Chain A
Amino acid sequence: MSTFTERLRRHGGTIGLIVIVLLLDVLALSQAGGSVERQLFVGNVMIQVIFVGSVGYLYRIVGVASFGQAIFYGGAAYTVGLAAPHVGSSTLLLLIGVGAATIAAAVVGLFIFRVPGLSFAILTLALGESLFVLARRERWTGGDTGLFGFGAGRLFGLDISTPGAFVASMVVFTSLGMLLLWWLEYSRFGVVLRAIRSSDRRAAALGAGIRTYRYAGFVVAGAVSGVCGSLYALLWNLVSPDILQWSTSGDPIIMTLIGGMGSIVGPVIGCVAFLYLVDIASAITDQWELWVGTILLVVILAAPRGVVGLVDDAVSRVLRRKEEAHRVR
């Protein structure tokens, strides 16, 4: 393989990510004249790709399984909703939401030092469920209806007062969010985490603080989830208990699987594909659970490395054929 193609393969993830972010930005900007419904949908997609990206990061790089990211996502959203009557600035609301999520992740993450992986995953599941029950039950969280009616003004100077303006502003936030996720993977922090995933024996034998790094990774993922949850609340100006359901934690995992668990670009692709799929499916049928479940099962059994895996396989085949043609000549 020529060095150019080698370099291309090696940086495939980064290149793919840049391409997708650009496409998403174009998508967002194209909604300027569209219906509110479409603007809300695309705005949601822009938020979700970062959230799902953070979940993918948690699994793939940090190596921690968590079924409770909804705690930080939904928790931040609720924090925004609860603080909104008292705080006028959307920027400040976002920071408060992220702060709450980060503190929560810092507390929950402590169990990483204490408890084996599967138990930790179940613990996060249980905590997520508890939060869901709490949100539905208590009056101060708005009960089953939730919190609503808070407006949004400007976020770090960008206009988010209408869905249209929000979607346009998301160009900035999604791009920054993706940059952050990229940095978290390629900075020294990410390299250490990847090394730990590669061989924790070797990492320990070199004196690496394995659980400290995993904890840090978990807190960071929680913080990013908090950013997304806060943005969600500001987009819809409403927060209902549904946001704390297990599906909020489980769907990103599915999306990551569909897109491909092995690369930075997989979760993003999976997220977009999944959201559009569900959008189309629920317009057609009421039985979306059955369809989604079937599709997921098919993907797992037939294409375990997801969309990215399929693309990777196809590219390898093409490159191999080209090489053989070269050699024959």
Chain B
Amino acid sequence: MNSVALPAIVGLSSGLLLFLLASGLTLTFGVMGIVNFAHGGFFMIGAYTAFELTSGDGGLGVAQFAMGVVAAAVVTAAIGLVLERLVFARLYATSPIYTLLATYALLLMAQGAVVMKWGRLPQSAPLPDGLSGSVDLGSLSVPVYNLVCIAVAAVVAVGLFAVVYRTRLGLEARAIAMDRSMASALGIRFRLVYAVLFTLGVFLAGLAGAMQAPLTQLTPSLAHAYVVMGFAIVVIGGLGSVTGTLVASLVVGVTNAFAVSFAPDISGYAVYAVLVVVLVVWPGGLLSRGAPVVDLH
């Protein structure tokens, strides 16, 4: 029992962080119709910014760490907003291929910028002293930080669902996703919705990166690795479905954690095996009932 519970908890925590990352991809795709390859770049920027803000001599307090994480997410979001206005706004009307390539270009630039500032060698982001130990839950010894990640990510996720399903903005976003021409006839504020939604997605990616940072080796290839993972999740869950993304993120997180524990040889491509199996059985993704659907649900 013990040997299952730990990977389950680790899987839950990484799955929820993955959800924060992947939700941005789903929103951009479902609402703006954009396949954003640069999204992994935002994750990477969040991770490295948090690293920059929290590393240094002396001990790291929890409050300081928290502020660093939040600041990293905010900085990433700011960069995202600027890019949205400058670059992405010009891509909304073009073909998916060009968007893909433009965003790939951005990914390369982000990687280049990171290499310029921090080099290619792996870095380690520190955990604050207060969160670095383990806590005993019954007979189980669970790393504190994983529990913190679960808590924070869960709260943020709930907040995201609230925004999508309970706010005026979310309603307009869902309307656009469902029927673009009708939405424009209804006078929905496209530019505002796009800008806010995009920035929100980037904020979440940056936050995920910042929180993941102490758990992973930081290298510029993070951007690329996580964008691939993000897309795999989005496809598994069903393109455009936020709920599907959540389910898929948890499936991927838990699968990865179990693979690492029990079958480390295949842990590198456990996710992709899941992707292949899912696509064979449900061609549109888990939550699309067999037929490919592109709307936000």
Contacts and interface: CB of A to CB of B under 8 A. Distances in A.
B263 to A, nearest CB: 13
Given A125-B231, A297-B87, A119 B279 contact: yes
Interface string A291-303: 1111011001100
B131 interface: no
A289 B283 contact: no
A59 B97 CA distance: 9
A300 B98 contact: yes
Interface stretch (A8-16, A127-135, A192-200, A219-227): A127-135
B279 A114 contact: yes
Interface in A87-118: 111, 114-116, 118
B171 interface: no
Nearest to B239: A118
B292 A119 contact: yes
Contact of A296 (B101, B111, B113, B234): B101
Given A114-B279, A137-B265, A297 B105 contact: yes
Interface stretch (B1-9, B13-21, B196-204, B266-274): B266-274
B111 A137 contact: no
B45 interface: no
Contacts of B107: 293
Interface string B91-118: 0001011101110111111111101100
Interface stretch (A43-51, A166-174, A250-258): A250-258
B228 interface: yes
A301 B108 contact: no
Nearest to A299: B105
B218 to A, nearest CB: 16
Contacts of A250: 104
Contacts of A304: 94, 98
Contact of A300 (B105, B234, B271, B292): B105
Contacts of A234: none
A180 interface: no
Interface string A134-173: 1001000000000000000000000000000000000000
B12 interface: no
Contact of A297 (B102, B224, B265): B102
A293 B112 contact: yes
Interface residues of A, number: 38
Given A119-B239, A289-B111, A253 B231 contact: no
A301 B275 CA distance: 33
B272 A129 contact: yes
A290 B87 contact: no
Contact of A294 (B109, B115, B269): B109
A27 interface: no
B268 A290 contact: no
Nearest to A113: B283
A246 interface: yes
A128 to B, nearest CB: 9
B234 to A, nearest CB: 8
Given A114-B283, A127-B272, A246-B228, A289 B102 contact: no
Given A65-B97, A126-B272, A130-B269, A287 B112 contact: yes
Interface string B262-297: 000100110111011001100111000000100000
Contact of A246 (B110, B113, B224): B224
Nearest to A304: B98
Contact of B116 (A65, A115, A290): A290
Contacts of A246: 224, 228
A297 B228 contact: no
A254 B115 contact: no
Contacts of B272: 126-127, 129-130
Contacts of B193: none
Given A119-B235, A293-B106, 6 more contacts: A118-B35, A122-B231, A127-B272, A287-B116, A288-B112, A301-B102
Interface of B: 35, 87, 90, 94, 96-98, 100-102, 104-113, 115-116, 220, 224, 228, 231-232, 234-235, 239, 265, 268-269, 271-273, 275-276, 279-280, 283-285, 292
14 contacts: A118-B235, A125-B228, A127-B272, A133-B268, A137-B268, A286-B115, A289-B108, A290-B108, A290-B113, A290-B115, A293-B111, A297-B87, A297-B106, A301-B90
